[in-house]
Structure 1
Amino acid sequence: MKFIVKTQRGLEGVAAGYIRETLPDAEVWASPMGYSGLVIVESEDGNAAERILEIPEVERAIPVLVEVPAELEAIVDTAGKIAPLIKEEETFAVRTKRRGKHDFSSVDVNRELGARIRELTNSDVNLSWPDRVVQVEIIGDRAYVSLLPGEEFRKFTPGKIDARKLFQKVVLVQMPYWGDYRACRSFGEKIGRAAQAFEVKELIIAPKEKMDAFELAEFLKGVKIGQESRHRIQSEAYPWKVEKVPVSLWDLYQVVRDKRRKKRLLIITDPKGPTLAGVKDELARDLFHSKEVVIFIGSREGIPRGLFRFADYVVDLAPYMTFATEHGIPAALVSLWEVYEEYLRKKP
């Protein structure tokens, strides 16, 4: 049987060496057609897949069901061999990874092969949570078609609580970083990337006082760069449409004045507050019932102490530790999600 073995780029040679030791009679081709991160293995050993996966450098070993020339018509014709293996009540999706130049695209393969399989099986297509995945690996002038369990491709499991239930009502109020221009740009990128990663409702950049306009400009440029880089990755990886997080500029004290309204929960992260464990039950309940959750995060300096009395919660996320500026958003949101998820699971 033939396998498409995947590794981290640069480790295909190492993996191939260990595969040859493990399966002495196997034919092993590292970096086929010059493509890194790939090894093609052909072996008659009935336990070849299990033995290959015992090698740490190997990430996946995909058994090949059909090998054909890398031509669209030939690939679509493999549906006749794949379809009998898919039950009518099962959903499926076609995923194609194409390497090399061809007169068709990966989308063409997904569409044409998927349509043919659907005709033969009467099964439904499910791009988010399929029961089975028809995997097409195209390497140069050859195409390798496999049928895999859908679980291997599920980044998002229906049984898990969607973290966006909380993050979509979170407004982050981030004090800007100031100082060296390059540092301002760098920290801005990290903060923009973090805010976009969590898909929050809004990111407000909030200086507490007059600051250098050009330092602020560099910081905001960094926020935009970081946001856009993360948004591109999300758009490719997620099965739903991802919107860019709105970014605003506002005076810190005016944010506090405006956000002190009904059903708005104001949270400040600061070592002077109680630990998260000490307030988690009340905090989780208030997170659930709030229309908007406003989280204030410092930069170089903490949030001014005078604002503490206007907050609903001042929370110490990690006693005796101070987070770096770029870690403030992830630390706060992950911590709050943990207490929120626990509350949801206990809630009748």
Structure 2
Amino acid sequence: MKFIVKTQMDMEAVAGNYIKDALPEAKVQIAPEGYPGLIIVESDDEKALEKLLEIPEVERVIPVLIEVPADLEAIKEAAEEIVKHIKEGESFAVRTKRRGKKDFSSVDVNVVLGARIKDLTGAEVNLSWPDKVVQVEIIGDKAYISVIPGEEYLKYRKYTPDKPDCRKLFKKVSIVQMPYWGDYKTARAFGEKIGRAAQAFEVKELIIAPKEKMNAYELMAFIRGVKEGQESRYQIQREAYPWEVEKVPIYVWDLYQVIRDKRRNRRLIIITDPKGPTLNEVKEKLARDMYYVKEIVVLIGSREGIPRGLFRFADYVVDLAPYMTFATEHGIPATLIALWTIYEEELRKRGEIGED
């Protein structure tokens, strides 16, 4: 059998040497046509696939079903063999990786081959969650075609239908963050980390809330850092995510006025502080409350904790990590990850997501 082996970029030589040790009789072509991160392996060993997957440097192994010239018509004709591996009632998708200059694009292959398979089988095309994936790897003058079970292809994708979308919770969360103060450089650095964290979790809003008057220039430095951190994360999200991303709204508001305003129906106020009970003590009731409310307001301190007088107005005061105090920049990630963990359990209890 022939296999297309994929590795991290520039790790193909290391992986190739281990492959030669594991499969001494195999023909191993490292970086075919000069393309890094690729190895073509040809072996008669019945356990070749198993042995390849035992090598940590190997990221993916694609068994080759058909090898044809890298020509659009030849690839189209391969559909006659491909359809033998797609059962009646199964959906499929064609995925193509083209390397090198050709007079056709990857999309052209997907369209032409997909249409031919559909004509021959009547199978439905499902680009999101197919039962079978027809993988076309074009390397130089050859096209290597495989038919992979959909669950195998989707296994390492970030976004699959069996995973709950944590953004639905975070869209209800308003973060009320006390600003960090001190010298301008430090304030700006902490602001950058907080802005990045708030944008990363795509929360409903970030409210920068001083508890009293503070140096205007220190606050300005902090807010500039927040803006820079948010912008850097936003640009990464725009490139990485298949959906549209919006910037988290950012406001400045007096801490005490925030409490006054947010004490309304279907709002839940949570303060993170070591003086409260542990998360484990309140998690079941807290998860239920989070499920039903319209907005979850989380107050996070900075250098100093949230003033104790505000505890009376909170629905929960929670100690996330007993005998530990979080660094300022860890407040948002630690709190939201903890809240999501207990909220996910609540969704499972309600049958809104499946059991592991």
Q: What interval of TM-score do these two structures reach, taking the shorter chain for normalisation? A: 0.7 to 0.9
Counterpart CA distance in 1 for 2:177 and 2:167 is 20
Percent identity, aligned pairs only, is: 64
The alpha-carbon deviation at position 178 of structure 1 amounts to: 4.6
The alpha-carbon deviation at position 179 of structure 1 amounts to: 5.0
Matches within 5 A, 1:110-189: 110-152=110-152, 153-154=154-155, 155=157, 156-179=159-182, 187-189=190-192
Q: Which residue in the other structure is 1:231 paired with? A: 238
The alpha-carbon deviation at position 172 of structure 1 amounts to: 2.3
Question: Residue deviations 1:62-108, cap 9 Å, x none?
Answer: 10112233343433333222122111311222222333333433333
- Is it true that 1:45 corresponds to 2:45 in the alignment? yes
The alpha-carbon deviation at position 49 of structure 1 amounts to: 0.8
Are the aligned partners of 1:180 and 1:215 in contact in 2 as well (CA < 8 Å)? no
The range that moved more, 251-260 or 8-17, is: 251-260
Are the aligned partners of 1:189 and 1:226 in contact in 2 as well (CA < 8 Å)? no
Counterpart CA distance in 2 for 1:322 and 1:76 is 62
Counterpart CA distance in 2 for 1:185 and 1:67 is 57
Question: Residue deviations 1:21-56, cap 9 Å, x none?
Answer: 111111101122222222111112222111211222
TM-score (norm 1): 0.88
Structure 2, gaps ≥5 residues long? 352-356
Are the aligned partners of 1:93 and 1:130 in contact in 2 as well (CA < 8 Å)? yes
Aligned residue among 197, 201, 204 for 1:201: 204
Counterpart CA distance in 2 for 1:138 and 1:190 is 42
Counterpart CA distance in 1 for 2:141 and 2:166 is 43
Q: Which residue in the other structure is 1:250 paired with? A: 252
Counterpart CA distance in 1 for 2:241 and 2:223 is 27
Q: Say which SS state the counterpart of residue 320 (structure 1) adopts.
A: coil
Q: Which residue in the other structure is 2:314 paired with? A: 311
Structure 2 CA distance for partners of 1:183 and 1:90, relative to 1, 3 Å: farther
Are the aligned partners of 1:188 and 1:226 in contact in 2 as well (CA < 8 Å)? no
Structure 2 CA distance for partners of 1:190 and 1:72, relative to 1, 3 Å: farther
Are the aligned partners of 1:176 and 1:219 in contact in 2 as well (CA < 8 Å)? no
Are the aligned partners of 1:15 and 1:55 in contact in 2 as well (CA < 8 Å)? yes
Q: Say which SS state the counterpart of residue 344 (structure 1) adopts.
A: helix
TM-score (norm 2): 0.86
Q: Say which SS state the counterpart of residue 13 (structure 1) adopts.
A: helix
Structure 2 CA distance for partners of 1:276 and 1:110, relative to 1, 3 Å: same
Are the aligned partners of 1:200 and 1:245 in contact in 2 as well (CA < 8 Å)? no
- Is it true that 1:60 corresponds to 2:60 in the alignment? yes
The range that moved more, 252-261 or 267-276, is: 252-261
Are the aligned partners of 2:198 and 2:230 in contact in 1 as well (CA < 8 Å)? no
Counterpart CA distance in 2 for 1:302 and 1:142 is 64
Aligned residue among 337, 340, 343 for 1:340: 343
Structure 1, gaps ≥5 residues long? 236-240
Counterpart CA distance in 2 for 1:290 and 1:106 is 47
The alpha-carbon deviation at position 264 of structure 1 amounts to: 0.7
CA RMSD of aligned residues (A): 2.5
Counterpart CA distance in 1 for 2:254 and 2:33 is 57
Q: Which residue in the other structure is 1:275 paired with? A: 278
Are the aligned partners of 2:174 and 2:205 in contact in 1 as well (CA < 8 Å)? yes
Q: Say which SS state the counterpart of residue 172 (structure 1) adopts.
A: strand
Give the total of aligned pairs.
343
Structure 2 CA distance for partners of 1:341 and 1:58, relative to 1, 3 Å: same
Are the aligned partners of 1:189 and 1:225 in contact in 2 as well (CA < 8 Å)? no
The alpha-carbon deviation at position 223 of structure 1 amounts to: 1.5
Are the aligned partners of 1:271 and 1:316 in contact in 2 as well (CA < 8 Å)? yes
